[in-house]
Amino acid sequence: PVPIKINLLKFLRCISIKLILMGTGLGMVACSPLTVLDPPPIGPRNVIKPKALKKGDTIGLIAPASPFTASVLTKALDQIAAHGFEIKLGKNLQNQFGYLAGRDEERIGDIHSMFEDEEVDAIWCIRGGYGTSRILPYLDYDLIAKHPKMLIGYSDITALIQAIYLKTGLIGFHGPVGSSTMTAYTDQYFQLVAMNGFEPVSIELNNNHSGSGTNNIYRVITPGEVTGELVGGNLCLLAALAGTEFQMDFTDKLVFLEDVGEKPYRIDRMLTQLLHSSNLAKAKGIILGEFADCEAKEGEFSLTLKDTLDFNLGGLEIPVCYGFSFGHISDLCTLPVGIMATFNTEKKRLDLLENAVV
């Protein structure tokens, strides 16, 4: 007989999740020892484009990361309803387990339920925070692939969008969370990409610069025009996924990165980790969003954010820019992960070369 290698910690953790979920009727879809120990291989696959959103559709609202206040929930419900959508709340949406919006098995259960529910047309994450990367090995990617739907969010939701895309080919939407403020710019590109995105879309830089601080000015680090598959998200999450089965292959990709509240030395550490552990240097180009609140305090021994980014990315000999309109800011565009796109640093424009929805 061939010996079988088992990760005991993963096995026991998955068994505990499965036993709890069996009481909710979701035990068989939540995870199994086979799913965790022998995950679906990551490799070339056909892209799956979700249905476009339209008024009257039902949004499944979930919290796969951190908990939230009552005012955040009210804001999300009001904004989603204002777009003409119906709303279905995740069973465990308002749960709390310390800094998590419920235990892992509860958040997994809501994700699986929303994908499987035929009444739900799209899934919107109410906020980011922390915790999404914890549940990635235990998701049922076969179930998700059989019930493809639009998944919307950013920040910590980066991990969920990337894992699902790598495992299934389903296009994910790096855009406002349910509780984001829907400014005119944010709403314009959300509707163009997620609701009317049957044709290619050109995303222009927002010149109002609604971000905070002095680091919200667009600038070119290395000029050029580049075409590639659009991937990326929050820098902290991408660095955290390095070395795991959910790490992105950046070769020939058009990579977008953003972060918030990280001092320059931490930005340096995360970029260094990606450059050392992944093939980020083989990307076609890099678009940096607005890194809100990422400067060192006055008097600290530190490089500036500008120097940190230039120092790490300026020598890659690929087009790189800073300050495009996405990140933890008021005016942010919606970026479909997995779509072919062209970016021109001088024109300050991202052209999506294909429809993101069907």
Question: What is the C-alpha to C-alpha distance for residues 351 and 331, in angstroms, rounded to an integer?
Answer: 18
279 assigned to some structural domain: yes
Alpha-carbon span 219 to 236, nearest angstrom: 22
Distance CA 292, CA 323 (A): 10
CB 267 within 8 A of CB 310: no
The sign of the CA dihedral 306, 312, 316, 320 is negative
Angle at 95 between CA 91 and CA 97, to 5 degrees: 140
Based on the domain organization, do 172 and 294 belong to the same domain? Answer: no
pLDDT value of residue 200: 86
User: In this structure, are 342 and 236 located in the same domain?
Assistant: yes
Residue 22 falls inside a structural domain: no
Give the count of alpha carbons within 13 A of 201, CB side only.
Answer: 21
In a shared domain, residues 211 and 323: yes
Alpha helix segments (H runs only) across the chain = 8-22, 27-30, 33-37, 70-82, 104-116, 141-146, 157-168, 184-190, 235-241, 264-277, 305-313
Question: 342 and 240 in one domain?
Answer: yes
Please give the chain's pLDDT, 358 residues, in tens. Answer: 444 444 444 444 555 554 444 544 444 344 433 344 344 444 434 899 999 999 999 999 999 999 999 999 999 999 999 999 999 999 999 999 999 999 999 999 999 999 999 999 999 999 999 999 999 999 999 999 999 999 999 999 999 999 999 999 999 999 999 999 999 999 999 999 999 978 889 999 998 754 444 445 899 999 999 999 999 999 999 999 999 999 999 999 999 999 999 999 999 999 999 999 999 999 999 999 999 999 999 999 999 999 999 999 999 999 999 999 999 999 999 999 999 999 999 999 999 999 999 9
Q: What is the pLDDT of residue 209?
A: 54
Q: Is residue 30 part of a domain?
A: no
Phi, psi dihedral angles at 197 (to 5 degrees): -80, 40
Same-domain check for residues 218 and 345: yes
Tell me the chain's radius of gyration from C-alpha atoms: 20
φ, ψ dihedrals at 283, nearest 5°: -65, 160
Alpha-carbon distance of 9 to 35, in angstroms, equals: 14
- The bridge status of strand 122-125 relative to strand 58-62 is parallel
Alpha carbon distance 222, 226 (integer Å) = 11
Q: How far apart are the first and last CA of the chain?
A: 48
The residues, ordered by sequence, that sit 6+ positions from 152 with a Cβ below 8 Å of its Cβ are 122, 123, 124, 125, 173, 175, 176, 177, 194, 334
Same-domain status, 244 and 203? yes
**Is 255 found in the same domain as 216?**
yes
211 and 143 inside one domain: no
Which residues are catalytic, by number? Answer: 155, 258, 328
Within a domain: 262:
yes
- Written as one string, the DSSP assignment of 47-59 is -BPPPPP-TTPEE
Establish if 347 belongs to a structural domain: yes
The last residue of a domain, from among 116, 146, 180: 180
* CATH label of the domain that carries residue 340: 3.50.30.60
The answer to whether residues 175 and 203 belong to one domain is no
- Assign residue 128 the CATH number of its domain: 3.40.50.10740
SS3 category, 247: coil
Tokens encoding 155: 């920040």
Secondary structure (3-state) at 269 = helix
Q: Are 234 and 177 in contact (CB under 8 A)?
A: no
Residue written as token pair 């958040």: 107
Domain-embedded: residue 175: yes
Same domain membership, residue 308 and residue 203: yes
Q: Pairing relation of β-strands 340-344 and 349-352?
A: antiparallel
- The residue among 134, 150, 180 that closes a domain is 180
CA pair distance 158, 196, nearest whole angstrom: 23
Look at residues 126, 151, 180 and tell me which one is the last residue of a structural domain. Answer: 180
CB 103 within 8 A of CB 131: no
Q: Has residue 358 been placed in a domain?
A: no
Q: Torsion over CA of 180, 348, 229 and 167, rounded to 10 degrees?
A: -10
* Contact predicate 289/330, CB 8 Å: no
On whether the CB atoms of residues 316 and 222 are closer than 8 A, the answer is: yes
Q: How many domains does the chain have?
A: 2
Query: Do 238 and 276 share a domain, yes or no?
Result: yes
Question: Domain span at residue 298?
Answer: 199-352
Distances (CA, A) of 211 to 22, 117, 208: 45, 37, 9
205 and 176, same domain (yes or no): no
Cβ(302)–Cβ(264) under 8 Å? yes
Q: 143 lies in a domain?
A: yes
